[in-house]
Amino acid sequence: MALSFEELSFKEIKEKERQELQKQFGYSNNHQTPRIKKIVVTMCVGDAVVDSKIIYYVKKCIAMITGQEPGLIKAKKSIAAFKLRKGMPIACKVTLRKKRAEDFIRRLVLEVFPRIK
């Protein structure tokens, strides 16, 4: 009897996958198996140079998707060709760890991927 993804807890899934990886690749130790430590969600907006309000809409969108407030990434250097000045906000970034990363993966696999055609 195979259990669905919803019925298993994330801990059981990780343990089951770890055992399968150990068998498949011949790892002698549990600590040798790869694991997910963090998930980084980043969104860069080129139009933020022209209209600075866009970056705040992007910030709200990423906060809704991840459930965590993103930080702004500012330009390190000025680039005249892009009309970019040092210190202008150009992107948003969120780092998800532990429980929030697990919840993000679960929502991605159960809700987002099935809708993609």
Rounded alpha-carbon distances, angstroms, from residue 115 to 5, 94, 107, 111, 112: 17, 24, 12, 7, 5
Of 83, 99, 85, 104, give the one whose Cα is nearest residue 40. 104
Number of C-beta neighbours around residue 77 at 10 A:
8
- Report the range of poorest mean pLDDT among 22-36, 56-70, 76-90: 76-90
- In the chain, the domains with their CATH numbers are 36-115 (3.30.1440.10)
Question: What tens digit of pLDDT does each residue of 4-22 get?
Answer: 555 556 677 777 888 888 8
Q: Is the pLDDT of residue 96 over 90?
A: yes
Question: What tens digit of pLDDT does each residue of 33-69 get?
Answer: 887 889 999 888 877 666 778 888 888 988 988 889 9
> Which pLDDT does position 95 carry in this prediction?
94
Share of the chain above pLDDT 70, in %: 88
Separation between Cα atoms, residue 87 and residue 53, nearest integer Å: 15
pTM of the model: 0.71
Separation between Cα atoms, residue 108 and residue 113, nearest integer Å: 6
Tokens of 110: 């159960």
